[in-house]
Chain A
């Protein structure tokens, strides 16, 4: 079996890449993409632990399919939410672009104190 540690390193790398992207990029689409990267890193973690715990619990009393595999359900849930979020996010980006003629996040600083 693949070591969970390796998979978790991958997830950490993807998450860090996402954070770096969110912090360094100014284009809104790039921000959204980096966000997706972070979400997917989380998904990988969820799936990994689901697998680890399923192995540990197999045979244990009182654990059914749902208990052992809940991480995978969460993953599906996150994907659905992420899809919805992308939909809204893109709609906002389009609206901002129509208004400001740019998709640069620094162009939208109207809440400056």
Chain B
């Protein structure tokens, strides 16, 4: 019997994974307007679900035996630089494939319900499919160049979807901001690529000419740590742009202007974790760049705390989640910087579930309120004008509660295991850097627990504080929207059990699955390196593990309960207003600290003054001097006027009188004859 999924077909099947969403994009792009929302969304969802099925088969059956590579064609071939368009599915990219297509499927299905009242659904689903295709290219490409292709593709889709409702100018501006911030990062990323190519002579991962082979056979290339540090810092600048780290994080909160499922898929679960993927993919170079790793860890830690503290006071439900995402990405980079790539990827994995769940849940709330408040009404996202929605939307409430428990890091939920592993890596490291990172991480975790509880308390508990009419009409979302919430909630509980620390029995299938990804780096790790690339069962450290776990569990639970008690009861809010959070919902009595956080440390304003303003002035000067004077006046109009003036002279010669032409003709004959005679006589 013909077996589609047999081993000899695996090199063909691997192409189906990215190409199915591309087909969905083409169908929706070309014919989507003729389909209704079910047809358009059905095509889009089916393509991603099929891609998910193929991914499961490939990752389940073939990837464990070794990476699958499949060459498409020779893409670039110029002198010493050649790049094949080749797909590469190893354990790391296989995991990402499952996250992208799996969560992508749920979000596509959810979107059918969410976008059912939007006339632009065909465009929406086309963009969403294009995004899934680009993201799969990013993780499945076999070189940094194909990664960059996907990297730019997801950036484009992100831009298009942030500005999806482009008729509102602020959405278009938010899209533009994301694009520009990512451009700055991409510049660094490209410099990093150039440096790596310059030094190693390759940008491909696998194969004889690939980076892994080059490094294994020429270990002396790794001695030039200065260059490696620069290359890794440059790559990390790219990751800062894509994964929203200080100083380039400013675009992500504004990216919430897009439809909420987009925020869930692109700006929480997948695209923003591309930076972590890239660092994990380049792990064999990063482990030799100590300075760059320190920078990564510190930036990650500072971002985790910085963004987390801003998230404490935001009133917009999606803004809280956006800053939370920036903060969690900071946690992931902390793990990367400490050399625990598998833990960083584990946090990507668990975070993808619970943050997608929280975004989809907030989308469910917004969708429900927009029915009566009208589309785009800011009140539909203002938590201060919500409350008591538990009665109206029980499924959304309970699934989101699970998500926020996971986010806060309450024991047994997914976020606990991954966040605890990150904190333990810092805790166990033992040097100054480790303690700094640990301090930042714990402070960030306190913020996380607080804003998770605040979000739940304000939105679903207590009394309704907004428009009575809206509350009366608020209702649970359709089943296509609640079903993904339930599935994600199951994973938000269960995903954490794939990496259980040694103190609890050392059950580490997740770390073992990824272990082959780090073999090259592990084999060439310098003497005395702090990096622990695989999960070790260290019996001596179990006490330390228990201490760390106790601290983080106590913090998470304590802070969560504290915040939840405050915010679930309106009477408590009034009491607490007088103390710590004076200014909550009331700007007249705001404390300076509260005002500082509410205005996001004035970073946007500082950037406006320090970067955007000077750039704008320089652009105006360049516009006037180069564009208006040199190009327009001198080159364009100047050459036109030159031609006109010279042809005005030439025009006079064309009198139209036959005899004038004849005079010229005769004069020419005389002239040529004379010339001929002179030359002939000189011979």
A113, B650: Cβ atoms under 8 Å? Answer: yes
Bound Cα distance from A113 to B659, whole angstroms? 15
A70 to chain B, nearest CB (A): 24
> B654 in the interface, Cβ–Cβ < 8 Å?
yes
Chain B proximity of A84: nearest CB distance (Å): 21
Q: Which residues of A contact B169 (CB under 8 A)?
A: none
Tell me, in angstroms, the Cα distance from A110 to B666 when the chains sit together.
Answer: 22
Decide yes or no whether B610 CB sits under 8 A from chain A: no
Whether A112 pairs with B662 at a CB distance below 8 angstroms is no
Q: Kindly state whether residue B198 has any CB partner on chain A within 8 Å.
A: no
Q: How far is the CB of A99 from chain B (nearest CB, A)?
A: 15
Q: How far is the CA of A70 from the CA of B392 in the complex (A)?
A: 113
Query: In the assembly, what is the distance between CA of A19 and CA of B659, in Å?
Result: 11
Which residues of chain A in 5-26 are interfacial with respect to chain B, using CB atoms and an 8 Å cutoff?
A: 19, 22-23, 26
| Interface: A58 (CB within 8 A) | no
Q: Which of A46-54, A75-83, A101-109 contacts B (4 or more CB under 8 A)?
A: A101-109
Q: Least Cβ distance of B223 to chain A in Å?
A: 75
Interface flag for B74 (CB, 8 Å): no
Q: Which of A19, A31, A105 contacts B657 (CB 8 A)?
A: A105
Q: Does B469 contact A (CB under 8 A)?
A: no
Known: A113-B650, A113-B651. A23 touches B656 (CB 8 A): no
Contact of A106 among B653, B659, B663 (CB under 8 A): B659
Which among A109, A110, A111, A113 has the highest number of chain B CB atoms within 10 Å? A113
Q: Is the CB of B662 within 8 A of A23?
A: yes
User: Given the interface contacts A19-B666, A23-B663, does A112 sit within 8 Å of B658 by beta carbon?
Assistant: no
Picked from A105, A110, A111, the residue with its CB within 8 Å of the CB of B659 is A105
Which A56-104 residues have a C-beta within 8 angstroms of B? none
Q: Look across to chain B and name the residue whose beta carbon is closest to the beta carbon of A109.
A: B656
A110 touches B662 (CB 8 A): no
In the complex, which residue of chain B has the Cβ closest to the Cβ of A111?
B656
A75 to B650, CA, bound (A): 40
Tell me whether B652 is interfacial, beta carbon within 8 Å: yes
Whether a CB of chain A sits under 8 angstroms from the CB of B655 is yes
Nearest B-chain residue to A26, judged by Cβ:
B659
Measured CB to CB, the closest approach of chain B to A35, in angstroms, equals 11
B659 and A112 contact, CB distance less than 8 A: no
Which chain B residue lies CB-closest to A112?
Answer: B656
Tell me how far the C-beta of B645 lies from the nearest C-beta in chain A, rounded to whole angstroms. Answer: 15
How far in angstroms is the closest Cβ of chain B from A93? 12
B contact residues around A109 at 8 Å (CB): 655-657
Q: Check if B650 sits within 8 Å of A108, measured CB to CB.
A: no
Q: Find residues 627-683 in chain B having any chain A CB closer than 8 Å to their own CB.
A: 650-659, 662-663, 666
Question: In the complex, which residues of chain A have a beta carbon less than 8 angstroms from the beta carbon of B652?
Answer: 113
Interface size class of chain A, counting residues whose CB lies under 8 Å from the partner chain: 10 to 19
Shortest distance from the beta carbon of A110 to any chain B beta carbon, whole Å? 6
CA distance A105 to B661 in the complex (A): 12
Could you tell me the distance in whole angstroms from the C-beta of A54 to the nearest C-beta in chain B?
Answer: 27
Find out whether the CB atom of A105 lies under 8 angstroms from the CB atom of B658.
yes
When distances are taken between beta carbons in the complex, the residues of chain B under 8 Å from A106 are 657-659
Q: How far is the CA of A109 from the CA of B655 in the complex (A)?
A: 7
Tell whether, in the assembled complex, residue B650 and residue A23 are in contact, meaning their CB atoms are under 8 Å apart: no
Q: Distance (Å) between the CB of B658 and the closest chain A CB?
A: 4
- Smallest Cβ distance from B657 to chain A, in angstroms? 5
Q: Give the complex CA separation of A105 and B657 in angstroms.
A: 7
With both chains docked as a complex, state the minimum distance between the C-beta of A104 and any C-beta of chain B, in angstroms. 10
Enumerate chain B residues within 8 angstroms of A111, measured Cβ to Cβ: 654, 656
> What's the minimum C-beta distance from B408 to chain A, rounded to whole angstroms?
85
Q: How far is the CA of A112 from the CA of B650 in the complex (A)?
A: 12
Query: Could you tell me if A23 and B654 are in contact, using CB atoms closer than 8 angstroms?
Result: no
Are the CB atoms of B654 and A112 closer together than 8 Å?
A: yes
Say yes or no: A108 contacts B658, CB within 8 Å.
yes
Distance of A22 Cα from B652 Cα, bound (Å): 23
Chain A residues whose CB sits within 8 angstroms of the CB of B650 once the complex forms: 113
- Determine whether the beta carbon of A113 is less than 8 Å from that of B654: yes
Are A23 and B666 also in contact (CB < 8 A) when A113-B652, A113-B653 are?
yes
Nearest CB in chain A: distance from B404 CB, A? 82
Provided the pairs A113-B650, A113-B651 are in contact, do residues A22 and B656 lie with their beta carbons within 8 angstroms? no
The CA of A110 and the CA of B652, in the complex, are separated in Å by 14
| Chain B nearest Cβ from A86, distance in angstroms | 17
In whole angstroms, what is the CA distance A110 to B656 when docked?
Answer: 6
Docked CA distance A70–B650 (Å): 44
List chain A residues, Cβ under 8 A from B651: 113
A113 to B650, CA, bound (A): 9
Give the docked Cα–Cα distance between A31 and B657 (Å).
Answer: 13
Measured CA separation A113–B654 after assembly (Å): 5
**A23 CB contacts on chain B under 8 angstroms:** 659, 662-663, 666
Report Cα–Cα, A5/B666, bound state, in Å. Answer: 24
Interface residues of B (CB under 8 A from A): 650-659, 662-663, 666
**Other A-B pairs beyond A111-B654, A113-B653, 13, CB < 8 Å:** A23-B662, A23-B663, A31-B658, A105-B657, A105-B659, A108-B656, A111-B656, A112-B655, A113-B650, A113-B651, A113-B652, A113-B654, A113-B655
A residues contacting B by CB (< 8 A) are 19, 22-23, 26, 31, 105-106, 108-113
28 contacts between A and B (CB under 8 A): A19-B666, A22-B662, A23-B659, A23-B662, A23-B663, A23-B666, A31-B658, A105-B658, A105-B659, A106-B657, A106-B658, A106-B659, A108-B656, A108-B658, A109-B655, A109-B656, A109-B657, A110-B656, A111-B654, A112-B654, A112-B655, A112-B656, A113-B650, A113-B651, A113-B652, A113-B653, A113-B654, A113-B655
10 interchain residue pairs of minimum CB distance = A113-B654, A109-B656, A112-B656, A113-B651, A105-B658, A111-B656, A109-B657, A106-B657, A23-B662, A22-B662
